[in-house]
Amino acid sequence: MAEFTVNLAIQTLGSLLVQETKQLRSVKKEVESIKKELEFIRSFLRDADTRAAAEQEGGSDGGVVA
């Protein structure tokens, strides 16, 4: 009887570990995707800051025709 209980626990834990591993892989992919998106946003913001600083230094109106 005790051996049956231990075998059942081993099977149950094995299944749970497989499920947990799948979920962690999914989370890892999501985190990598979010990281790439944030890096893109950072690049965009750096470019925007550089352009804004250049416009302020040069007294440019940003290409707006009055």
Q: What residue type is assigned to position 7 of the chain?
A: N
Query: If pLDDT is split at 50, 70 and 90, which confidence band does 59 have?
Result: low
| CA–centroid distance for 15 within its chain | 27
Query: If pLDDT is split at 50, 70 and 90, which confidence band does 58 have?
Result: confident
Closest CA to 3 of 28, 11, 19: 11
Average pLDDT of the segment spanning 29-40: 94
Residue 18 token pair = 């497989």
User: Using the 8-state DSSP alphabet, how is residue 59 labeled?
Assistant: T
